[in-house]
């Protein structure tokens, strides 16, 4: 866990919840069933099987309450009715909603039946959760903090649109080499069995959002993914006026490395805009200051909406400027071509390839006797040091009824 905590130090030191986790241990269960290795935790929560299609949340609660020492004097049906009343569930909608009222119900139930004080809080993440290493670091830190205090987590997952399911998160193992392979262990009340999921698959397996109830508040997930890239400055002079593209520069970003996405069809689901926020291009003028474009933002609509191994987009103008010199006009332009390529290790790489060009035309008053200007284009590019992916804001389905 040291590696994750180092990555989050600047965020966590300013977070009061994390400070309380470190400094204020909570009342533990009577019998501690925490199994600890150097970088893994597992809480031996009871295996509970739900009694019907709407009872995944009550069955998960029975498992958690029993872990805390509750002696099971109520059935899943009774828990179901209690929690629906406590969470103010509409009569016409089956299942149990995940919200702040559910956290209050859990804390009150445990206190009244076992005498122990708990601090379950409700946290929600949108459908794009899990597509950055920062997401994984925040989630893994929150899971570790809860489990290290003997607090199993209640999770509402949405593997299919409009279908919710509740599970108990009871184990975590950190991968010190690659956090995309951190592993989480769940008790699934559908059959009472335990299963594991690695961090890289969270966005795929729970792709319509999650509700999480663990110890305290989880840090807020950023609304965008920022990837550091090597910045550069490139200037191309004496671009001929024949309107032919001249290569300027290219940028390659390994999407799988930074977002975990290997199936490109999910890119369109997850992101609305991508680009280079600090990008700057200058088209030099003959008689004036350069024409400047700052920032480069592109819609995900320009990319394929299905999974691909290789794809090349159109050569699109992103900056142009025309200048009249005598009887001639020079139009200098900068174009961008986007390409996708799958590497041998199955990683997806997106390429941003920049081309410059210029077109010189003579107006209708130009005479053969006139001496033409030798006009050429000149372009300068300052790339951004950050590649940004803006998340889509998708509906997080709240009710769990399967």
Shared-domain flag, residues 316 and 197:
no
Last residue of a domain, one of 166, 197, 222: 222
pLDDT tens for 52-96 read 988 999 999 999 999 999 998 999 999 999 999 999 988 888 889
- CA torsion 110→112→116→122, rounded to 10°? 40
> Considering its fold, how many domains does the chain have in total?
2
For residue 362, what are its two tokens? 């003579």
Shared-domain flag, residues 229 and 211:
no
- Domain at 73, CATH number: 3.90.70.130
pLDDT tens for 221-262 read 888 999 999 999 999 999 999 999 999 999 999 999 998 888
Q: Is residue 397 part of a domain?
A: no
Shared-domain flag, residues 259 and 328:
yes
Shared-domain flag, residues 230 and 323:
yes
Evaluate if residue 16 carries a pLDDT over 50.
no
User: What's this model's pTM, rounded to 2 decimal places?
Assistant: 0.77
Residue 69 CB: number of other CB atoms within 10 A? Answer: 15
Shared-domain flag, residues 217 and 258:
no
* Mean pLDDT within 198-220: 87
User: Phi and psi of 356, rounded to 5°?
Assistant: -110, 160
pLDDT tens for 306-320 read 999 999 999 999 999
Give the residue numbers spanning the domain of 108. Answer: 2-222
- C-alpha–C-alpha distance, residues 394 and 374, integer Å: 54
- C-alpha–C-alpha distance, residues 49 and 56, integer Å: 8
């Amino acid at each position: 866990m040291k590696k994750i905590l180092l990555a989050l130090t600047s965020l966590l030191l300013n977070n009061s919840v994390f400070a309380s986790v470190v400094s204020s241990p909570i009342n533990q269960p009577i019998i501690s069933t925490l199994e600890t290795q150097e970088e893994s935790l597992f809480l031996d929560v009871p295996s509970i099987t739900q009694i019907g299609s709407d009872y995944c949340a009550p069955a998960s609660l029975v498992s958690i309450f029993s872990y805390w020492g509750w002696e099971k004097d109520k059935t899943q049906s009774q828990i179901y009715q209690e929690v629906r009343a406590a969470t103010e569930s509409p009569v016409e909608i089956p299942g149990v909603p995940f919200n702040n009222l559910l956290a209050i119900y859990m804390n009150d139930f445990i206190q009244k039946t076992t005498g122990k004080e708990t601090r379950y809080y409700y946290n929600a993440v949108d459908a794009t959760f899990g597509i950055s290493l920062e997401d994984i670091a925040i989630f893994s830190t929150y899971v570790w903090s809860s489990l290290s205090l003997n607090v199993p987590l209640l999770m509402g997952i949405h593997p299919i649109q409009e279908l919710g399911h509740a599970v108990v998160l009871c184990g975590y193992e950190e991968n010190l080499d690659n956090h995309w392979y951190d592993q989480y262990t769940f008790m699934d009340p559908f059959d009472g069995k335990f299963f594991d999921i690695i961090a890289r698959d969270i966005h795929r397996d729970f792709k319509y959002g999650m509700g999480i109830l663990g110890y305290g508040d989880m840090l807020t997930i950023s609304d965008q993914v920022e990837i550091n890239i090597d910045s550069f400055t490139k200037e191309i002079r004496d671009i001929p006026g024949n309107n032919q593209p001249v290569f300027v520069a290219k940028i390659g970003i390994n999407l799988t490395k930074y977002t975990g996405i290997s199936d490109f069809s999910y890119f369109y689901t997850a992101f609305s805009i991508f680009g280079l926020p600090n990008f700057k291009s200058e088209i030099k003028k003959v008689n004036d200051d350069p024409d400047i474009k700052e920032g480069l933002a592109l819609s995900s609509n320009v990319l394929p909406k299905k999974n691909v191994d290789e794809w090349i987009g159109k050569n699109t103008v992103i900056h142009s400027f025309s200048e009249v010199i005598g009887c001639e006009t020079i139009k200098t332009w900068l174009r961008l071509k986007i390409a996708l390529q799958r590497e041998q290790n199955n990683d997806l790489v997106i390429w941003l390839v920049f081309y410059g060009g210029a077109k010189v035309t003579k107006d209708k008053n130009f005479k053969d006797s006139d001496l033409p200007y030798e006009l050429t284009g000149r372009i300068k590019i300052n790339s951004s040091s950050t590649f940004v992916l803006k998340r889509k804001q998708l509906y997080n389905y709240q009710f769990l009824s399967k």
